[in-house]
Structure 1
Amino acid sequence: MVAGVGSRLPSRCVTNDDLARTLDTSDEWIRARTGIARRYVADAGTDTSDLAAGAAERALASARLSPAGVDTVIVATTTPDRPCPATAPTVAAKLGLGPVAAFDVSAVCSGFLYALATASGLIASGAAEHVVVIGAETFSRILDPADRSTSVIFGDGAGAVVLRAGTPDEPGALGPLLLGSDGTGVDLITVPAGGPGRPDAAGADTGSAGRYFTMQGKKVFWLAVQRMGECAATVLGRAGWRVEDVDWLVSHQANHRITARLADEIGIPPERSVSNIAEVGNTAAASIPLALDHAHARRLFRPGDRLLLTAFGGGLTWGAAALTWPAIDPV
């Protein structure tokens, strides 16, 4: 069950007007197409692990759990500090956790749900007692600054939850989870170069921009709505919830058109769909935990509220989960 929640954003805020100074765009154009007004960008001295550790510290404070009580750290990220090793051991070290289990999960914007499912399984098996699950990104570092289609959308940040064992009737209980993937769509959301198979960012097959993130937006839009809607419906059925039983939809904050269309497809009124994309942009794996913490800070959730979480990302990957909100105070 969820016992604590926290988040961390970089200090530098970049508004749409800031971007319009170097791109052929405007505040009106960006808002109309994405719903985004601002995003946060990490400076050169801030790593993904710094944001992850900051979010984890706040989640631990929210759970009233000392670092000594943590036995596992899972970091969902597309932008690790370095290709090797994983970022999670660095986060554990920054938190002063000692020799705990620590590893990364890579499923792009679905990464937090994949990490949540992994943590739940570890706890259910008895392999872990308290797991810190973090979604953290410095996505700005893999964006082409001249590409209007991506550079206006994404931001940096981190969100985290603390998971512990519990009972199904407790506020904070994590219900059914569903994950999926389709590798035939690998090129729809990708960074083409940089892996062992394509190490040269300026290779003939990728061009000089091969090191940058690319996305086929129109195809992704419809696939995201379809896949998130389907897996959300399945999770509702497994949880025994009707659509009207859901207090809040917390979906990946891709852009406002996707979240609005998804809520409509599921049948959830717009006022019960959590949104913070205007303030932080699309933060990939950090998106859902950031939205949870920001909504919690605004006291939108009450203990026992039924939340439906769902995400879609590169891979292609997707997932959904049912969650009842815990009785925790904002930090």
Structure 2
Amino acid sequence: MEYDVTPERQAYLDAHGYTILTACPGSGKTTSIVKKLLAVSRYCEEHYGRHTGFACLSFTNKACAELKQKYREMHDERLVFPNEVLTIDSFIMQYVVLPFWYLCDACKKKPMVVNEEEILERIYYNNIQIKGKWQQYPVMELRQYAKLIYSKKPSLISIEMTGFKWNHKVVINANEEAYCKAAIIYRLSEGFITSGDALWMACYILKHHQEVSKALVARFPYIIVDEAQDNSELHFEFFRLLKSAGLQNLEYIGDICQSIYGFNNARPKLLQALMAEEGWNVLPLSECRRSNQRIIDLYCKLKPNDVPAITSHGVEDSGIPIVVYKYDDSNVRDIIRDFYQVCDD
């Protein structure tokens, strides 16, 4: 696999410590990460020992599979121990929650992740036979919140750093807060957790048991977080706790303009705030290999002014006009038909 080393890319390849890489669309971000990983594995072995490696984390299994495949193509070898390419959820479960769940006071059984709303909802009810008929009642721990449990499903409750959310909305009513707390405590005690619960548990464990944080940092002295613009507040807290425990190499890679998980608590503004903090080496990848400059200039009208300017790199401009579609429910099919016709032409 060919890799064009430009000054921007070389600056990232050479960077260690605390780095934020802002990568525009089409900049070759994934390929640059893969290019660097081989050197990072050798860096870990040389500076921290043969038992140590990097953890390269992303949000989806598909993204992780792409990283592994490109690594094999570029370096002609597989990613193996002691290095890991995992989703953030898998990393948290494998290295914090499953081995140390008992350090979370609310968790009374080895946890199992259940994200399906329909399945999660069932744990909050008991089936009781009355006069030959089976009827469903809330578990005893939530019986006092009988009115709330039917209007606000407990399966949609999540726990955050400073409180609770129901269906991604902050809960401020005192009675509803008590209900949310009881629901979370009950499902943790029964060993059923969501991915969000697992993240909160991981932060709780790292915060109250620094020996776990330090052991994790000793095992993974270099952590790369891909698609960092989609981190939630708890994600940033998790990595902050590792940094406080001695993590010396942490990279956030992303683009605040490309956040797509706002519905799932993504906080791109927190990444933007980190970029202004002292101690972080902020580097750009601003050369787009996907679009010509006219398309880029149109896109740049929509991005914040403090995001680095984007330039087209090696893309020939064939002079084809840019087409902008305005759509509503009545013309979607017409637009798709016209789009295909434009492409054919």
Greater share of strand residues, 1 or 2?
1
Q: Same fold (TM over 0.5)?
A: no
Normalised TM-score (structure 2): 0.26
Greater share of helix residues, 1 or 2?
2
Larger radius of gyration: 2
Normalised TM-score (structure 1): 0.27
